[in-house]
């Protein structure tokens, strides 16, 4: 049996992972589950899977978790350090699905223990890509991508011969405002922004998809996952979300991975790799779909993608600053403190005002992240809603 830990077990990726694991109980043993503050969801999942350990990041929720697990043999812990300890318990396979920079230390703890880490936390590679990948190499950890786009590339890429690859092409749905004018974008509400046309995701990721920042973060992530240069990474808008990404080779061949928009497909590939496993995902009916459409991204209406490309090209601390400022701006937008178009403007302003040296450790990354957040928060105060 494969021993499994899920970091972020109550989020969309975590619950999809649990769905697959619970369909094959003879193949998986759950070591640890973590959540931020969703005690009820965490306790239910731990009891259903007979997990050995359940950890809630918010220390104030510990007693509530203990009460929910009363009568079981499941150990309850709380606090950020306990989350890191759960990540470092040495599971065979760890799902890293904690959203935001809160996931950086747990991801590092998992990478340092060996085994396989399935990465759904974008911030780990965006903010600390070189540091994280170096830790994985040192520990002999297998790092598998879970984002549908990167997982698609992983399935299509011949990693043994990177010189044969001409381009990696990440597809983007274009989000809910693919055809919305700049003028109309001025009045976009949070409710509109989180209503993704194809995928069921959390609010923050949905807003990132609406600004195309999500695709920019994925470009940076792809740079650290795959043996290509930054200028070999491209984006195509593909509204149907059927082709999840493509790899173009030097002979002109283009390999693509297709499937219905269901996160359980890439999760299952990572969970069973190098094998495959059955999923309940809807089968792809190309005859019913009829046609597949692609278009170039609009960098004028979606400047966040351009900012991410520039941060990737510059390297150093720029991606970490980009990510931190974006998190602050998106949170402010969801709280009604800034308008939709100001998200990218806040990121741009933070990048323009803060340019530290490249970080050499995870602590340095987190210090840069904290300073960038503080500067972005000051910029938020200047916005008028």
Query: Given phi > 0 = left and psi -120 to 50 = alpha, else beta, which region is 174?
Result: left
DSSP annotation of 76 reads E
Largest CA distance in the chain: 62
Query: Is the CB of residue 342 less than 8 Å from the CB of residue 333?
Result: yes
| Reported pTM | 0.93
Q: Which range marks the domain in which residue 345 is found?
A: 315-385
Structure tokens at 60: 């104030």
Tell me, yes or no, whether 97 and 217 share the same domain. no
Residue 199 has pLDDT above 90, yes or no: no
Tell me, yes or no, whether 24 and 119 share the same domain. yes
- Which 3 state secondary structure label does DSSP give 2? strand
**For residue 159, which of 235, 276, 309, 273 has the smallest C-alpha distance?**
273
Tell me, yes or no, whether 54 and 135 share the same domain. yes
Average pLDDT for the chain? 95
Cα 282 to chain centroid, rounded: 23
pLDDT tens for 320-348 read 999 999 999 999 999 999 999 999 999 99
| pLDDT confidence bin for 372, thresholds 50/70/90 | very high
Q: Is 267 within a domain?
A: no
Within 13 A of 161's CA, how many CA atoms are on the CB side? Answer: 9
Tell me, yes or no, whether 163 and 139 share the same domain. no
**How many distinct structural domains can be found in the chain?**
3
pLDDT tens for 113-171 read 999 999 998 889 999 999 999 999 999 999 999 999 999 999 999 988 899 999 999 99
pLDDT at 384: 61
| pLDDT confidence bin for 203, thresholds 50/70/90 | confident
Please give the helix or strand (H or E) that residue 31 lies within, else none: strand 28-35
pLDDT tens for 33-61 read 999 999 999 999 999 999 999 999 999 99
> Among residues of the chain, what percentage have pLDDT more than 70?
98
**Cis amide leading into 349 (omega within 30):** no
Q: Is 273 within a domain?
A: no
Tell me, yes or no, whether 10 and 105 share the same domain. yes
Q: Is 161 within a domain?
A: yes
pLDDT at 154: 97
């Amino acid at each position: 049996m494969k021993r499994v830990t899920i970091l972020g077990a109550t989020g969309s990726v975590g619950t999809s992972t649990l769905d697959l694991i619970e369909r094959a109980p003879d193949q998986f043993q759950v070591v640890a589950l973590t959540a931020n503050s969703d005690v009820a969801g965490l306790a239910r999942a731990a009891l259903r899977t007979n997990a050995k350990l359940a950890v809630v990041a918010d220390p104030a929720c510990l007693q509530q978790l203990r009460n929910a697990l009363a009568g079981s043999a499941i150990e309850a812990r709380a606090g950020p350090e306990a989350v890191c300890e759960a990540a470092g318990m040495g599971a065979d396979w760890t799902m890293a699905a904690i959203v935001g920079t809160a996931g950086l230390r747990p991801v590092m703890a998992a990478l340092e223990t060996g085994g396989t880490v399935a990465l759904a936390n974008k911030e780990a590679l965006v903010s600390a890509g070189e540091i994280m990948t170096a830790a994985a190499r040192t520990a002999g950890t297998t790092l598998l991508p879970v984002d549908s786009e990167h997982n698609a590339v992983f399935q299509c890429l011949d990693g043994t011969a990177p010189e044969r690859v001409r381009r990696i092409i990440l597809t983007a749905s274009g989000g809910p405002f693919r055809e919305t004018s700049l003028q109309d974008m001025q009045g976009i509400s949070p409710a509109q922004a989180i209503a993704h046309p194809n995928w069921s995701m959390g609010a923050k990721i949905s807003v990132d998809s609406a600004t195309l920042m999500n695709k920019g973060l994925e470009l940076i992530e792809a740079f650290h996952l795959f043996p290509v240069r930054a200028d070999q990474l491209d984006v195509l808008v593909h509204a149907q979300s059927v082709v999840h990404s493509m790899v173009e080779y030097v002979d002109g061949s283009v390999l693509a991975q297709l499937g219905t928009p269901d996160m359980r497909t890439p999760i299952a590939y990572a969970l069973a790799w190098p094998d495959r496993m059955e999923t309940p995902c809807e089968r792809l009916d190309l005859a019913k779909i009829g046609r597949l459409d692609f278009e170039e991204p609009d960098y004028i209406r979606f400047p966040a993608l351009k900012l991410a490309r520039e941060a990737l090209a510059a390297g150093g601390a720029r991606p970490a600053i980009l990510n931190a400022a974006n998190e602050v701006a998106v949170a402010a937008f969801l709280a009604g403190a800034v308008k939709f178009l100001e998200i990218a403007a806040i990121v741009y302003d933070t990048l323009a005002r803060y340019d530290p040296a490249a970080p050499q450790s995870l602590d340095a990354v987190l210090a840069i992240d904290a300073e960038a957040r503080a500067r972005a928060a000051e910029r938020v105060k200047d916005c008028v809603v």
